[in-house]
A and B are shown apart, each in its own frame.
Chain A
Amino acid sequence: MPKWCCSILTTIPIFLTLISCSGESRKTVVSENASAPQQVKSRLETVKNRGKLICGVSGELPGFSFVRADGRYAGLDVDICRAIAAAIFNNPNAVQFRNLNAKERFTAVQTGEVDVLSRNTTWTLGRDTSVKMEFAPVIFYDGQGIMVRKNSGFKKLEDLKGKPICTQTGTTNEQNLADQMRRRGLPYQPVVFEDVNTAYTAYAEGRCDAVTSDRSQLLSRRTALPKPQDHEILSVVMSKEPLAPAVAEGDVRWVNIVRWVVYTLIEAEELGVNSKNVTQLTRSNDPLFRRFLGVEGSLGKGLGLTNDFTVRIIKSVGNYGEIYNRNLGPNTALKLDRGLNNLWTKKGLLFAPPFR
């Protein structure tokens, strides 16, 4: 057989696969256009058809999202995913978790690889606009801190003049650090790693005098260092880091679901509804409970869910307070004080609009 024949024969299968791919993508475009531009197919349908939610998490952060010894994912971020799955499928385990590093996360949402990003992500204006994210309500109010070795004697940022500081790339931390040092006119040497584990290992090995990240993350990672008691987190708070779940921009129905699932958790705590008393409260005569739990009215239907979606959520993951205590509370390794992450009625910032 002549040479050119071979080259053609090898090209044909490649070409055929491409044609088949292009056919598929074209089809979805057409169907979306056909169903009128204002009512584009929501991700809710995609998720329902798939039968499970795909949730982007960190997977590296105890208390927020990590894999426990028994192989199950656990953490605050993870429970948000489970709550969404419970609201849609009445099954908190209908979630597929996908570990994403700080760098990959936004592309994964933009391309639709994950339905929700629940990965200790800071809500910023830039991410809301030019990165095209849509943020759900804040689930954890945090601030950037800095951790040093106790025996170093460093007490404030000024002490770190000219010193190497480890951090992770693709985070707001990297830029906040630059801002804070610039404000104080302090030269320093950033050592920036793509992998969060590498960053903390390098710090533990003495490559850097300090490591900077969100305070909750520093607390969480400190428990994993060889000698946690040898390290301390300085009192300086370098930024506001409101951590919130995010979805892709331009899908109002899907955003609403994620948003109101989070509000459900907060409202449930405020009303005193928890996983233990929720079934009993559905029989209550109080219109407040009856409406919130979907016995009256049609709030769930309006979201494109069932009316009892709040009951489903609270039954499977509990209210915000229960989630917090389970993952970050006094009985965990982190022992994080509620602080700002308390209800507005208890001097915190958590506030849910009315369920009406």
Chain B
Amino acid sequence: MLLLFAKALFMWNNSRFWRWFGQILLILLVVILAIFLWRNFTENLQQLGLQFGFDFLNLQAGFDIGEKIVTYKSTDTFAAALFVGLINTLRVMAIGLVSASIVGVIVGVARLSDNWLVRNLAIIYVEIIRNIPLLLQLLFWYFAFFLKLPQPGNSISFFGIFSLSNRGLQLPGGTALYPEFLTLILGLTLYTGAFIAEIIRGGIQAVPKGQWEAARSLGLKPFQVMRLVVFPQALRVIIPPLTSQYLNLAKNSSLAIAIGFPDIYAIASTTNNITGRAVEVIVIIIITYLTISLTISLLLNIYNRRIQIKER
């Protein structure tokens, strides 16, 4: 009797027991939650008389897509249409990531410039862009800039190679970049660029002053100081927050639907509307964005590990 009581008291005071207890409780809650959600979902579908399945992907889509770099026609399947959307999404993301990084680095360095004008212009840019919702900016660029350009008849020509009108940018060889695509690239670049600029500035300022002085005393020119000494060290501080900005850009690309660019989200919405398969379509979108985001995150984490200081 006394022994049992002592044992109970021992358990009560044992931190290891409680730690295990907590973990098991947590797992239990998560499992119950998952079971609940699944049952709720299947029950509701049953009540509505809907079946869960992806066979609809093989049906004929029946709608056209304006902007595409892979071949697609309205007689192709929903799967093919979604693939066109995926490629469009990836294209926007890839170009956006590169251009936002370039803008970010330039503005970030300009923020620290000795030139008063350059420095303040960079501050104004960052503060204006950072504090306005991206959706608003996209609509602004679309309606107040790209659609206000001259009509195709009297488009602005650049050296006779490019010509810009409210139907987009005509490139040599008959190809054109449509205003929706240009809006999305410009909007995402400027928006994410402003955030990246702040990260770059922070990273550069985190490099001890002694490093600058040492580099300069070695006789390096200002650009070389930045490129060879300061920036590589700043990268260690820059990469982790930069990763989340890249992820933001990837996810924000789904705002394409507001300005009529057929990205994966827009195409999936149309698919949902025609087939009535809301849950399946949402699952497809979630998996797509999750895969893309996790891939970006993984690549940058690998890169981050490579540039960290190896303690020996």
Interface of A with B (CB < 8 Å)? 2, 4-5, 7-8, 11, 15, 18, 22, 25, 29, 102-103, 106-107, 110-111, 126-127, 130-132, 164, 166, 169-170, 174-175, 177-179, 181-182, 188-195, 198-199, 201-202, 205-207, 248-250
Contacts and interface: CB of A to CB of B under 8 A. Distances in A.
Given A205-B166, A206-B151, A110 B23 contact: no
Contact of B270 (A164, A170, A182, A201): A170
A178 B47 CA distance: 35
B49 A250 contact: yes
Interface string B254-285: 00011110100010011011111010000000
A132 B260 CA distance: 28
Contacts of A175: 62-63, 74, 274
Given A194-B257, A201-B143, 5 more contacts: A111-B48, A169-B266, A174-B64, A199-B260, A206-B147
A169 B273 contact: yes
Complex A-B, nearest 10 residue pairs according to Cβ-Cβ distance, in ascending order: A131-B276, A170-B273, A4-B22, A205-B147, A178-B74, A193-B260, A178-B64, A175-B62, A190-B66, A189-B66
B7 interface: no
Contacts of A15: 29, 32-33
B50 interface: yes
B75 interface: yes
Nearest to A249: B49
B167 interface: yes
Interface string B1-29: 00000000000000100110011011001
Nearest to B179: A207
A249 B48 CA distance: 8
A132 B64 contact: no
B43 A25 contact: yes
A18 B262 contact: no
Interface of B: 15, 18-19, 22-23, 25-26, 29, 32-33, 36, 40, 43, 47-50, 56, 62-66, 73-75, 143, 147-148, 151, 166-167, 178-180, 257-260, 262, 266, 269-270, 272-276, 278
B111 to A, nearest CB: 35
A197 to B, nearest CB: 11
Contacts of A29: 43, 47
11 contacts: A2-B22, A106-B273, A110-B276, A127-B276, A132-B49, A132-B50, A174-B270, A175-B74, A192-B63, A192-B266, A194-B260
Nearest to B144: A205
A298 B305 CA distance: 80
Given A4-B19, A5-B22, A110-B278, A182 B75 contact: yes
B270 A169 contact: yes
A8 B62 contact: no
B262 A192 contact: yes
B48 to A, nearest CB: 6
Nearest to B32: A15
B33 A18 contact: yes
B259 A11 contact: no
Nearest to B176: A189
Given A205-B148, A207-B147, A194 B266 contact: yes
Contacts of A207: 147, 166-167, 179
A194 B148 contact: no
B151 A177 contact: no
Contact of A25 (B19, B40, B262, B274): B40
A198 B258 contact: yes
Contacts of A191: 66, 178, 180, 260
A132 B48 CA distance: 8
Contacts of B266: 169, 192, 194
Nearest to A106: B276
A22 B40 CA distance: 8
Looking at A11, A25, A181, A192, the one whose CB has the most chain B CB atoms below 10 A away is: A192
A190 B166 CA distance: 15
B25 A8 contact: yes
Given A192-B260, A194-B258, A102 B273 contact: yes
Contacts of A177: 64
B80 to A, nearest CB: 14
Contacts of B29: 11, 15
A207 B19 CA distance: 63
A193 B65 CA distance: 12
